[in-house]
Chains A and B, each alone.
Chain A
């Protein structure tokens, strides 16, 4: 190409080179991000699967009757085996919960498995070890635990999801935590969504542009950056302490059945609602701002009132953005641990939450507790619970995205 003489220098190769360099940088950045995420997933998977050596306290073969294996025995035989092999106290407890005569064969079999046979984890290996050192693991298991048996275990399974918390690794599950998470998130969104969207509508469509409203707007942005533990302290002061009669449910039931303490699902949900409120307000504000003014003018020009304009044109246009903000809020709230620890999530709880006034635990708190146990084997439970948490998060986000696509792009 000829080179123009009027003061321009040929710099095209250099411009292309610098463009290439930037491109490389961006590719590297993307790669680092992908590597980080892959490492995270691999780490979770690594602790989720692998060989486990179990040793039974009682060999199930010794419990067989007349050569019929334990799992095929009828209910009443199983019931008497259970009675004979556990302490009186334990038997009475379970018999009182649901009388053994009313229980199904399989549920009695499970009781025997959990309290009589009691398979105990003696040693466990990660997925990586299980795949690479299989022969070695098998020989260790055979020599060190001659009476034990080696199983390739998936720590997360249906039992794990449906069982309540337990101090026995083998039967511990996350049912209570999942329900607790769902309850708290539900309450948080129930409060934060209408309040947040309402505030955003006011700030964008009604509030005059004066210094007071500017201060409010700036401060909402700042609130979004406040560390979550501070919201925990706030929640403790307001919901757990000051509003205890309300959050413990005492003023509704009047009965002493309520926990008589404000450390309930309601307090947790409201604390999370405060935490995500700025997020919802900011995103809704941005979404409302993005609705073109020409649409508002068209509406006003026809003799629409402000509210008719907002309801018929601004909100439908802003809905996809508002729902995106809500997705972000859910993602944030579902992983919060610190504020819930502060307001007093239960450390050990087996009963399903029955309503907003129940004590609670949530998945991240359960994970936190399991990782802080000294025994190595609880790490596997934590990894399994992490997987459940991620699955829950993805399901909720997918639902929100579906909603957004369904109602957002109607036009």
Chain B
């Protein structure tokens, strides 16, 4: 395993958790994402926004090699994590995914008990410490502990949608990743559950680097420090490209490109 085991900050300046260099992703012949150069700040929340089909999920999955699991997909360019290009042949994607966790759009707890949902990932990754403590800490970090502490042996599927999503977040942080990727984690939740998840993200950002894909402009504005705006290439190839990237505050008040402004204000997308 070639990834350095110490935690980030990792690059020379200690600033970036992930850096991509000319990242392109293909599904068979189709280029879904083209030439993305992006530097994700450590212990900050970065939002990825853009119209449907512009490759936001694809980019996110490229960050922890989940795209490897999609038949017919291929990746070009480089993605640096902890000073190492994770697409080098000697890098084990299994280790990458432990260090860069993922929360999916649709909550997907295992059909196991709440306890086992949180404990399983740690167990298979060789955690030897106090498992009860780890489960409690993870659930507390995910702001779920108070709601489930009396029913840890109940099925994870018995929880409400918002609780299930927080369970998935607890499960992700139980393996002590450096980065958490979230693909529209609140899109299926009501406004109150959404707010809880957003608060949770702010808390987590003190320890973790968080990258979140969202369709909700207010959410991006509320929760993120940096925003990356993706859109389809204008040459008609339908490849997704990074259009603008910077501080969220700047992008939402004074975007550089007209297309960004149009998207943010809802006139296109």
- Which residues of A are in contact with B by a Cβ distance under 8 Å? 208-209, 292, 294-305, 308, 312-313, 316-317, 411
Which residues of A lie under 8 Å from residue B69 when comparing CB positions?
A: 296-297, 300
Report which of B72, B97, B106 forms a contact with A302, defined as CB distance below 8 A.
B97
Which residues of B lie under 8 Å from residue A299 when comparing CB positions?
A: 110
Which residues of B lie under 8 Å from residue A316 when comparing CB positions?
A: 111
Q: Shortest beta-carbon distance, A38 to chain B, in Å?
A: 41
What are 23 of the A-B contact pairs (CB < 8 Å)? A209-B71, A297-B69, A297-B104, A298-B104, A298-B108, A298-B110, A301-B172, A302-B97, A302-B98, A302-B101, A302-B120, A302-B121, A302-B124, A302-B171, A303-B94, A303-B95, A303-B98, A303-B99, A303-B124, A303-B175, A304-B121, A312-B120, A411-B157
Q: Which residue of B lies closest to A209 (CB)?
A: B71
Report which of B71, B112, B125 forms a contact with A303, defined as CB distance below 8 A.
B125
What's the dominant secondary structure at chain A's contact region?
A: helix
Report which of B108, B112, B121, B175 forms a contact with A411, defined as CB distance below 8 A.
B112
Known contacts: A209-B71, A308-B124, A312-B120. The answer to whether A302 contacts B175 by CB under 8 A is yes
Q: Which residue of A lies closest to B121 (CB)?
A: A302
Please provide the 6 A-B residue pairs with the shortest distance between their CB atoms, ordered closest to farther. A303-B98, A302-B121, A411-B111, A301-B102, A294-B108, A298-B108
Q: Shortest beta-carbon distance, A287 to chain B, in Å?
A: 15
> What are the interface flags for B83-108 relative to A under an 8 Å C-beta threshold, 1 for contact and 0 otherwise?
00000000000110111011010101
Which residues of A lie under 8 Å from residue B120 when comparing CB positions?
A: 302, 312
The reply to whether A303 and B110 contact each other, CB–CB distance below 8 Å, is: no
The reply to whether A300 and B97 contact each other, CB–CB distance below 8 Å, is: yes
Answer yes or no: B155 CB below 8 A from chain A CBs.
yes
Answer yes or no: B66 CB below 8 A from chain A CBs.
yes
Which residues of B (2-28) have their CB < 8 Å from a CB of A? none
> What are the interface flags for B216-235 relative to A under an 8 Å C-beta threshold, 1 for contact and 0 otherwise?
00000000000000000000
State in angstroms the CA–CA spacing of A411 and B120 once bound together.
Answer: 15
State in angstroms the CA–CA spacing of A316 and B64 once bound together.
Answer: 26
State in angstroms the CA–CA spacing of A303 and B92 once bound together.
Answer: 10
* A/B pair count, beta carbons within 8 Å: 66
The reply to whether B108 and A302 contact each other, CB–CB distance below 8 Å, is: no
Q: Shortest beta-carbon distance, B158 to chain A, in Å?
A: 11
The listed residue with most A CB atoms (<10 A of its CB), out of B95, B106, B121, is B121
Q: Which residue of A lies closest to B112 (CB)?
A: A411
The reply to whether B108 and A297 contact each other, CB–CB distance below 8 Å, is: yes
Answer yes or no: B241 CB below 8 A from chain A CBs.
no
Answer yes or no: B168 CB below 8 A from chain A CBs.
yes
Q: Which residue of B lies closest to A296 (CB)?
A: B69
> What are the interface flags for B131-143 relative to A under an 8 Å C-beta threshold, 1 for contact and 0 otherwise?
0000000000000
Which residues of B lie under 8 Å from residue A300 when comparing CB positions?
A: 66, 69, 97
Known contacts: A209-B71, A312-B120, A313-B110. The answer to whether A301 contacts B125 by CB under 8 A is no
Which residues of B lie under 8 Å from residue A294 when comparing CB positions?
A: 104, 106, 108
State in angstroms the CA–CA spacing of A312 and B124 once bound together.
Answer: 10
State in angstroms the CA–CA spacing of A292 and B110 once bound together.
Answer: 11
The reply to whether A295 and B110 contact each other, CB–CB distance below 8 Å, is: yes
Which residues of B lie under 8 Å from residue A209 when comparing CB positions?
A: 71-72
State in angstroms the CA–CA spacing of A298 and B124 once bound together.
Answer: 13
Which residues of B lie under 8 Å from residue A298 when comparing CB positions?
A: 104, 108-110, 168, 171
State in angstroms the CA–CA spacing of A305 and B71 once bound together.
Answer: 17
Which residues of A lie under 8 Å from residue B121 when comparing CB positions?
A: 302-304
Which residues of B lie under 8 Å from residue A312 when comparing CB positions?
A: 120, 124
Known contacts: A297-B108, A317-B111, A411-B155. The answer to whether A302 contacts B71 by CB under 8 A is no
Which residues of B lie under 8 Å from residue A313 when comparing CB positions?
A: 110
Q: Which residue of B lies closest to A306 (CB)?
A: B94
Q: Shortest beta-carbon distance, A289 to chain B, in Å?
A: 13
The listed residue with most A CB atoms (<10 A of its CB), out of B72, B98, B155, is B98
Which residues of A lie under 8 Å from residue B98 when comparing CB positions?
A: 302-303
Known contacts: A294-B104, A308-B124, A312-B120. The answer to whether A301 contacts B97 by CB under 8 A is yes
State in angstroms the CA–CA spacing of A355 and B72 once bound together.
Answer: 51
Q: Shortest beta-carbon distance, A28 to chain B, in Å?
A: 41
Q: Shortest beta-carbon distance, A212 to chain B, in Å?
A: 15
State in angstroms the CA–CA spacing of A296 and B69 once bound together.
Answer: 10
Q: Shortest beta-carbon distance, A298 to chain B, in Å?
A: 5
Report which of B104, B109, B111, B124 forms a contact with A304, defined as CB distance below 8 A.
B124
The reply to whether A301 and B104 contact each other, CB–CB distance below 8 Å, is: yes
Known contacts: A296-B69, A297-B66, A298-B168. The answer to whether A303 contacts B108 by CB under 8 A is no
Which residues of A lie under 8 Å from residue B108 when comparing CB positions?
A: 292, 294-295, 297-298
Q: Shortest beta-carbon distance, A351 to chain B, in Å?
A: 50
State in angstroms the CA–CA spacing of A209 and B69 once bound together.
Answer: 12
Q: Shortest beta-carbon distance, B98 to chain A, in Å?
A: 3
The reply to whether A304 and B66 contact each other, CB–CB distance below 8 Å, is: no
Q: Shortest beta-carbon distance, A216 to chain B, in Å?
A: 17
State in angstroms the CA–CA spacing of A302 and B173 once bound together.
Answer: 9
State in angstroms the CA–CA spacing of A300 and B94 once bound together.
Answer: 7
State in angstroms the CA–CA spacing of A316 and B157 once bound together.
Answer: 16
Q: Which residue of B lies closest to A297 (CB)?
A: B104
State in angstroms the CA–CA spacing of A316 and B120 once bound together.
Answer: 15
State in angstroms the CA–CA spacing of A295 and B108 once bound together.
Answer: 6
State in angstroms the CA–CA spacing of A317 and B108 once bound together.
Answer: 14
The listed residue with most B CB atoms (<10 A of its CB), out of A208, A313, A316, A411, is A411
State in angstroms the CA–CA spacing of A102 and B172 once bound together.
Answer: 73
Q: Shortest beta-carbon distance, A355 to chain B, in Å?
A: 42
Which residues of B lie under 8 Å from residue A297 when comparing CB positions?
A: 66, 69, 102, 104, 108
